[in-house]
Amino acid sequence: MASCREWQALPFEWKTGVIKEAKMAETTAEHIVNEARNLIMKRGYNGFSYADIAKAVGIRKPSIHHHFATKNDLAIAVVGQSRAVIWAHIDQLATAEPDAVAQLRAYATYWERCIADDSAPFCVAAMLAAELPSLPDELATSVRAHFNELTDWLARMLALGVRQKSVRLVGSPEQEADAFMSAIYGAMLSARAFGDPGRFTTITETLLSRVVSLH
């Protein structure tokens, strides 16, 4: 199985900024953001410091402050990468009508690969959402915006699938989008709690089987 970083065959790829930036020479700021993403995925916002970033990147802490004055600014940049990916997908909906089921499966399979090779074992926004009450207001707003944008994209995909007669829904696209997203993140949590990446695949395949129409 190809690693998460090597996986590039999707028709409408779910690539995070980490993967995109890995393809080119990183600037110092990009390297800082990517290391912060890795640390947040593993430890959460309150579990890392600029000293950790400095050690991982190989620079002094003042150099980090030059690019990101505060830890809050750095975390907002990390979330901004994920939001930019979602908006790129939303923008494409205005110019092309993708296969809805292929996109839903691509979204689930992206996380399956990332969890399996441990390159992105948990969504950074989900880690931050778990700490929402203790986050700075601006960062909390950015995290909430990420989830609003993701559920909006999912609702659009589900509604498109209904029009394409490839998706069946019980509730409204908005309700089903909330349920779909919750199942994906619940599957991530289950895989982590049991130390078993295969649980993510089992759960998401069950989820997709309930949404995709059989012909």
Residues 31-73: tens digit of each pLDDT: 999 999 999 988 999 999 999 999 999 999 999 999 999 999 9
Report the distance separating Cα 154 and Cα 195, nearest Å. Answer: 28
At residue 212, the 3 state secondary structure works out as: strand
What pLDDT score does 83 carry? 85
Instruction: Output the pTM of the full model.
Output: 0.80
Which has the higher per-residue pLDDT, 128 or 90?
A: 128
At residue 41, the 3 state secondary structure works out as: helix
Burial of 52 (0-12, 13-18, 19+ CB in 10 A): middle
Q: What is the mean pLDDT of residues 22-32?
A: 71
pLDDT tens, residue by residue, 149-181 = 999 999 999 999 999 999 999 999 999 999 999
| Segment (H or E) for 214 | none
In the chain, the domains with their CATH numbers are: 17-211 (1.10.357.10)
**Res 29 pLDDT > 70:** yes
Helix axes 137-163, 100-116, angle to 10 degrees: 130
Report the distance separating Cα 197 and Cα 141, nearest Å. Answer: 30
Report the distance separating Cα 209 and Cα 213, nearest Å. Answer: 8
| Structure token digits, residue 209 | 């089987």
Q: Which residue has the tokens 């930036």?
A: 21
What pLDDT score does 154 carry? 94
What pLDDT score does 11 carry? 37
Report the distance separating Cα 181 and Cα 60, nearest Å. Answer: 39
Q: Do 25 and 63 contact (CB within 8 A), yes or no?
A: no
C-alpha distances in Å from residue 36, one per residue of 39, 43, 81, 164:
5, 10, 12, 40
Mean pLDDT: which of 25-29, 53-57, 93-97 is highest? 53-57
